[in-house]
Amino acid sequence: MHSTGSKAKKSLPWLITLLPLLSTTTGWAETKLDTSPALELSYATEKGEFYQLQSKKGADWSNVGHAVKGTGAPFKGLYPSADYRVISPSKEWVLVWADEFNGNALDLTKWAKEENNYGGGNNERQAYRTDAKYCSVKDGNLNLSVFRDPHTTNDGKTQPYSSVRIRTLKRGDWTYGRFEVRAIMPKGQGIWPAVWMLPTDSKYGGWAAGGEIDIIESRGSAVHETTGALHFGGAWPKNTYLSHSYKFPKLDASEAFHVYALEWSADAIKWFVDGKLCQTRTKEEWFSEAAKENPHAPFDQAFHLIINVAVDGGFFKDTTQRADALPPTDFPQTLQIDYIRVYQWAD
């Protein structure tokens, strides 16, 4: 296929699937091979334009995979035999990345697990560990769990809790877009789940000069609200932040799944809960010590996603919450995510 709306017709050599071989008294017998045709699809792209491949099912066209952003080079791919077309979306959000968590394990082509025992710079009390116990995928949901499992590293550092932190670093990052998360939060005091973003290459310096975008943060048993924030300015301790909270009108963050979304453009960053706009921050409100002449910095570079569940730490410094007050039967404390979807705007 070489142009929008055309039908792909170029056929590649046959794809071959081996059927089970049949044994005979003299050894392995020859068996018939089952074959099916495949198509190589090709179309020209313009740099910065989005393209969506579609296949025909009956009288309808449906999307195949995610939208692709053109590079100026032709797009090529191998697909099963069918009728195809490619469309160029305009004036809408297009899906460019997603994890629906429909398998039976974390997709390591999209996520990496971190191993860390040192409190995340916030005096947190969890060890981030890579065991499947702390990170599982079941029944269409990602489960990130905290257990009261002490862990000691070979330098003698001990944390009383074990949890998990995953990220898309070097697997997926984006400059601008809509980030959508459907999730249900744990309720235990001192438990700190978060979905957030850091710059991949941090061209403006170390934290928080390079910026940080917090899509969701939930503060332990204060699940009647959710919070979001931006961190920016200079490198610590010359950094600053802007934060906000949103109170749920009915079922709280632990009682039901809610859809949390963040829309990020060059000029503004917006937070939504269940479709309701909660907060807007504009470029006039943030700055970069390293690039004061650039009104978009530091939020004009590629950021990747991070999900973790922390325990205690600086997020609770003005509260009396502490995870040690939870009875053993309250563990594990689990952040459950139905999906994460990333969209970008097609002009």
Catalytic residues: 212, 217
Structure tokens at 80: 């099963």
- Measured distance CA(307)–CA(165) in Å, rounded: 6
Structure tokens at 137: 């995928």
Structure tokens at 243: 């934060």
- Measured distance CA(91)–CA(50) in Å, rounded: 11
At 57 the three-state DSSP class reads strand
The β-bridge partners of 214 are: 196, 229
Burial class from Cβ neighbours inside 10 Å (0-12, 13-18, 19+) for residue 42 reads: middle
Asked if residue 151 lies in contact with residue 293, where contact means CB atoms within 8 angstroms, the answer is no
Burial class from Cβ neighbours inside 10 Å (0-12, 13-18, 19+) for residue 55 reads: middle
Per-residue CA distances from 240 to 22, 184, 203, 235 (Å): 70, 29, 18, 9
User: How many other β-carbons are positioned within 10 Å of the β-carbon of residue 322?
Assistant: 14
- Measured distance CA(285)–CA(96) in Å, rounded: 29
Residue with tokens 């932190």: 165
- Measured distance CA(213)–CA(176) in Å, rounded: 11
Structure tokens at 162: 């074990």
Structure tokens at 197: 């973003």
